[in-house]
Amino acid sequence: MTPPPGSLLTAENLRKDYGPTTALDGAGFSIHPGEVVAVMGPSGSGKSTLLHCLAGIVPPDSGSVTFDGTEMTTMNDARRSALRRSEFGFVFQFGRLVPELTCVENVALPLRLNGTGRREAERAALSWLERLEVDGLRAKRPDEISGGQGQRVAVARALVTGPRVVFADEPTGALDSLNGELVMELLTDAARSSNAAVVLVTHEARVAAYSDREIVVRDGRSRDMERAV
């Protein structure tokens, strides 16, 4: 399959089995720069597996994933890891901040892992903390801040490297509705201003409302609701 014109990330006919259980059974996906796509479906439908395949975390058993014209499924682990460090950003349900590091150190961590000097990395981290309205937390550690604040720090960490795709897996699942809406507004506004694509896995309609379109995954198969007739 030729990726749709202008698409940044495309997957075709993905299949992934875990023993006798089929997680993906012919799923497909595409996203353009600056677009927010919500991947929805019930628990166990395969939506998180789809995200992991798109991000190169888990290789599919068959099918293809193409990022910016390059076939990811033929890459070795080192090349996929480098891609995740430089081109992709991640926001998870519980933030996954490093408890021993301050907030500014957590945000700077992806840059430090890519070889950026500490001063420069922390300057960039502080800039993102300011954009996400949590720069006052720079010296605090994760156990000293609220869940909503922690998710904003996690969003800053995901965006600090200037990724071209942000993968958000249930980013508001552990938050109340008010904090969830704030995190979604900040995430989508910041990503769009950077022209980054966002792959948003959620089961909540109010979270999916922040997307440009929805893809529903059920029984390992995907359906693009924008194109459904």
CATH of the domain at 6: 3.40.50.300
Residue 201's H or E segment, with its range, is: strand 197-201
Q: Is-contact 83 70, C-beta < 8 A?
A: no
Q: Please state the pTM of the whole predicted model.
A: 0.90
With respect to residue 24, please indicate whether it lies within any of the assigned structural domains. yes
- Locate 157 and state its tokens: 């960490």
With respect to residue 100, please indicate whether it lies within any of the assigned structural domains. no
Q: Is-contact 104 138, C-beta < 8 A?
A: yes
CA–chain centroid gap for 172, Å, is 13
Instruction: Give residue 71's domain range.
Output: 1-87+165-173+194-229
- Locate 173 and state its tokens: 């699942």
- Nearest CA-CA partner of 29 in 63, 61, 57, 59: 63
With respect to residue 77, please indicate whether it lies within any of the assigned structural domains. yes
What's the half-sphere exposure (Cβ side, CA atoms, 13 Å) at 62? 6
With respect to residue 43, please indicate whether it lies within any of the assigned structural domains. yes
Structural domain count, the chain: 1
Residue 27's H or E segment, with its range, is: strand 21-31
Q: What parts of the chain have a pLDDT lower than 70?
A: 1-4, 95, 226-229
With respect to residue 102, please indicate whether it lies within any of the assigned structural domains. no
pLDDT at 61: 95
With respect to residue 25, please indicate whether it lies within any of the assigned structural domains. yes
With respect to residue 38, please indicate whether it lies within any of the assigned structural domains. yes
With respect to residue 54, please indicate whether it lies within any of the assigned structural domains. yes
pLDDT at 1: 47
pLDDT at 212: 94
pLDDT at 228: 38
